[in-house]
Structure 1
Amino acid sequence: MKPSALHQWLLSERPESRRQAALGRAYAGWRGFAHNRLALLGLAIVLALALLAALAPALAPYDPTVGDLQTTRLLPPSAAHWFGTDDQGRDIGSRLLYGSRLTLFVVTLVALLAAPIGLLVGTLAGYAGGAVDAVLMRITDIFLAFPRLILALAFVAALGPGIGNAVLAIALTSWPPYARIARAETLTIRHADFIAAVKLAGASPLRIVLRHIMPLCLPSVIVRVTLDMAGIILTAAGLGFLGLGAQPPTPEWGAMIAAGRAYVLDQWWVAAGPGLAICIVSLGFNLLGDGLRDALDPKGADGA
């Protein structure tokens, strides 16, 4: 199939199959996304993060957890150590590369845990209505009443420090916004004609929610998850800064900033490297989220 014919086939107003319709929607969304240069920049940053995380063992010139206190302690940036060394004589560049793996692990795992919970709670509340909706939304409001970092601190204090408990704590504090979005989407479509037709066909309420409502709510939730990635990174860094996330000598960006705060005036590079990494990656996820919002939900983007 020639490119022009493929283009016409994908953008056909009368698709002949579900597969053609799905591919057409994806292609139209990509075209809108590709016209946003800032969104492409955000995508490039996120892909670079994933690439650096995957290739960290090959790219890192030094061991991220072992240093030499006698000869390499607090060295400034140079040809041998591009980002300098820390107070333990460890190469900061190598620690940043390995820290990218931990950052990507945290945001991915939090998204995989929090998004399905929020999507399920929101769609169930919106479709069931009544007492079920009231109870689920009041629980959601309780979680939303506390700042995410404060609530995560409370969960980590109860569970104990460590990267696993930090991920679980962040996930437990991240699902309420997704539930609100999913509920709002469900309220707009639960009385649609196709839902009534599915009911008449004998589908159970659970099947309607799982097979027909949740897929329609998914794009909005994906956009919100992408926009929340920066907040997840900052929350994880905050827990690491306070010593409640990854434990030494694991290279975690927040913990690296905490270790460098004692040297911020004279050996500024110790905290500047991980701080810059957090800033760039957070910016990348924000730009990517804005682009996905414009591509997947142009009506919401116009009204924002």
Structure 2
Amino acid sequence: MSDVQYQSRRDWLLTDAPQTRRQARLGAIYQGWLTFRANKLAMFGLVILILLIVMAIFAPLLAPYSPFSQDLTNRLQPPGAANWLGTDHLGRDIMSRLIHGSRITLFIVGTVALIAPIIGLFVGTVAGFAGGWVDQVLMRITDIFLAFPKLILALAFVAALGAGIGNAVLALAITAWPPYARLARAETLTIRNADFIAAARLQGAGPMRLLIGHIWPLCISSLIVRVALDMAGIILSAAGLGFLGLGAQPPMPEWGAMISDGRTYILDFWWVAAMPGLAIFIVSLAFNLLGDGLRDVLDPKGAKE
């Protein structure tokens, strides 16, 4: 390890005088985990999301029935021993459909969280680093996207591309990147004239190397916090597209489409729409709590403000 003796691995991680870069990096990660763990609400959100991931992975094993099997003799049954969350208008088990629908939710969240921040990071850092007419053109394009409500713009893209979960995810990703571009540009403007950037440029680093190796790593922490906080909005937008019939198509057990199916019966058979609505609420709340915890760890200055 080193010539310095530590009583435990914890002391090695929390030392104020790390001996190697690896020790400093692992110590920062461990201190961040301690800060995150101290936030009980953030831990609650993390537990919910872990349960969601486990539920999605083992959906065929956890679901008591097939999400597609219909039993018209058992339609619109209230929650009970046979069907814990009741059945819908086609006699399908709501609990089974919610469990399998978690896969669709994670697919949407994961895909949008992978595509949108990358586009925003590239556009924002290029605009902030290059400046001049490049900055003006890219930011005006960003402003055009920001001028429209996100869901309305997503509806327009889905209407042009056609209904379906793939097109819905693509539309959400296309409409979600502008805030990340704005954030990345602001971060880039604060560091593009820093001394370490000038030193790297004197050593022969080109623009792409400066962006990828020096600027992007400093922007990622802020983007991670923003992504975590935006996941709830992405879930709600995806559910909105499904509710309007533009997302996942029947008989896929998408939560927004399930609410749409149950809106006709909401006064007499409330559980048909209430159960998927409750699932959306719980997962959205979990992402918001997780985002607050990550903000405390990755952006303590912003958390205090």
Normalised TM-score (structure 2): 0.97
CA–CA distance in 1 between the matches of 2:42 and 2:63?
Answer: 29
Deviations 1:166-200 (A, max 9, x none): 00000001111111111111111111111111001
Kept in 1, the 8 Å contact 2:36–2:297? The answer is: yes
> Partner residue of 2:58?
55
| Structure 2 alignment gaps of length 5 or more | none
CA–CA distance in 2 between the matches of 1:192 and 1:28?
Answer: 27
Deviations 1:9-37 (A, max 9, x none): 22333333332222122111111111100
Write out aligned runs for 1:84-99 (5 A): 84-99=86-101
CA–CA distance in 2 between the matches of 1:8 and 1:136?
Answer: 48
Amino acid across the alignment from 2:31? A
Q: 1:21 aligns with which of 5, 15, 24?
A: 24
Deviation of 1:4 (Å)? 4.9
Q: 2:9 aligns with which of 6, 23, 42?
A: 6
Kept in 1, the 8 Å contact 2:70–2:90? The answer is: yes
Q: 1:289 aligns with which of 288, 291, 303?
A: 291
Amino acid across the alignment from 1:62? Y
Deviation of 1:126 (Å)? 1.0
Q: 1:141 aligns with which of 122, 140, 143?
A: 143
The residue matched to 1:76 in structure 2 has which SS? coil
Deviations 1:240-285 (A, max 9, x none): 0000000000000000000000000001010011000000000000
> Partner residue of 1:40?
43
The percentage of aligned residue pairs carrying the same residue is 69
Deviations 1:60-91 (A, max 9, x none): 0111012111x211111100000100001100
CA–CA distance in 2 between the matches of 1:219 and 1:302?
Answer: 16
> Partner residue of 1:253?
255
The residue matched to 1:294 in structure 2 has which SS? helix
Kept in 1, the 8 Å contact 2:154–2:171? The answer is: yes
Distance 1:4 1:55, change over 3 A: farther
Matched, 1:117 2:119: yes
CA RMSD of aligned residues (A): 1.3
Kept in 1, the 8 Å contact 2:259–2:277? The answer is: yes
CA–CA distance in 1 between the matches of 2:192 and 2:126?
Answer: 11
Of 154-163 and 141-150, deviating more is 141-150
Deviation of 1:104 (Å)? 0.5
> Partner residue of 1:68?
71
Deviations 1:194-233 (A, max 9, x none): 1111001100011100111001100000010000000000
Deviations 1:115-167 (A, max 9, x none): 11111111111111111111111111111111110010000000000000000
Matched residues, number = 302
Deviation of 1:5 (Å)? 3.1
Amino acid across the alignment from 2:55? L
Normalised TM-score (structure 1): 0.97
Of 16-25 and 210-219, deviating more is 16-25
